[in-house]
Amino acid sequence: MKGNSTIFCILLSTTSGLAVSLDCPQPIEGLAVGEIVQALVTVPQEGADGRHFDVECIVRRCDLPDEVRLPLPESPVTDTALTLTSDSPPEPAAQQADTTQPSAVWGNLPGPADTQAPTDQQQKIAVWANWVAEHNPQLTETECELIVRWVLGYSRIYGVNHRLIFAVIEAESDFNPACVSHAGAVGLMQLMPSTARSVQVQNRWNVQENIRGGIQYLSQQLAAYADRSNYEQCVLGLASYNAGPNAVKKYGGVPPYDETRRYVIKVTNRFAELERAGYP
């Protein structure tokens, strides 16, 4: 407590043993006191204030797949993970079961006002948030920014160009979190139930989970063709995302499906346009 207000503190310890505390004036939505999370941060440059860290992404450890989870420490506050502590715990975010009815769930990561980013990162987020808003004006400013933060954060975690992810989401749902396909795929990245299970997505309607799962699944499809040229890897990875990896293997390339061929052309063209236009 500080006066009559509560300060929520995130305790961070790096692998080198450097301890850092991050003060938050408000609770971070979706996190309970004592819950372990992982963070993507920018460390200060040499000569800068060594106490200042820019937090780019905070993710609950339980929402991450096993291969990217950091090991649990003997004590939560002495690991590379983060722990949220406060005198007055925030209410945990409500969990919604997967359903066939469109009902997007927002939460889990801090809202835009709860994190700090360097000026260039703020500008990058603003550019993409405006781009997202142009596609779906019904999204609030906060929702646009959260989508961008999640795309940027998970793209870095899974090693996928974020411009490609934005192009995929545009083709899949045009940034409508309540989008449902005739085949039953849902959300921004149009996850089918089997795909969601393969990447440990518990609720396809949770916007953060949907983005994380879609990026993870696409990264797996791209990795399957890592020995090809960048162009072939991109085309075959996208075809696998759309038609399934077995179809691509069966035909030895992009399957002869009109939908898949249109999809690959649309996404690769948009990806190239974003690159040429200099989107950050």
Residues classed as catalytic? 172
Token pair, residue 214, equals 């879609």
DSSP per-residue letters across 49-102: -TT--EEEEEEEGGGS-GGGPPPPPSSGGGSSSEEEE-SSPPPPPPP----SS-
- Give the H or E element holding residue 24: strand 19-24
